[in-house]
Structure 1
């Protein structure tokens, strides 16, 4: 997926909001942060979307509530990393 439109609604003292932001930055995804604690209009905007808590992530209009790493990765087209297993060093006896 190229250049998804990502909007993240956050609030003050929200650990899961911090986790969402950290992951997006780790994945080098551009996003727009809207802090509902600091901007009353953004809070009302979130309520108009029938969401009353943070974090709320909208990726190309699709809503993801809370910190759901797999769902975000899936929607962003980021492949799950599979751990590498070296069968040459494993004992199968």
Structure 2
């Protein structure tokens, strides 16, 4: 039995119009998560180290990076600053 890769599964699921609609609705959230993880990795920090820097628990950072948290603007600023970055809000 051959294992399916995550990319192959995603491509297959994207053929379903209902799945694609729901997935596309989450695109901005996925982008935010990607940016957060990218900042942390560029800073060379672990989730635990970020948590210590901003005075929270690793589990809160994990939720933030997995998209299951609902962070406020101040939390996002603290996270970015702990990584050595600033965040800006833009609209289109």
By percentage of residues, which structure has more strand? 1
User: Does 1 or 2 have the higher relative contact order (CA < 8 Å, sep 6+)?
Assistant: 1
Q: TM-score, normalised by structure 1?
A: 0.29
The two structures have a TM-score, normalised by structure 2, of: 0.29
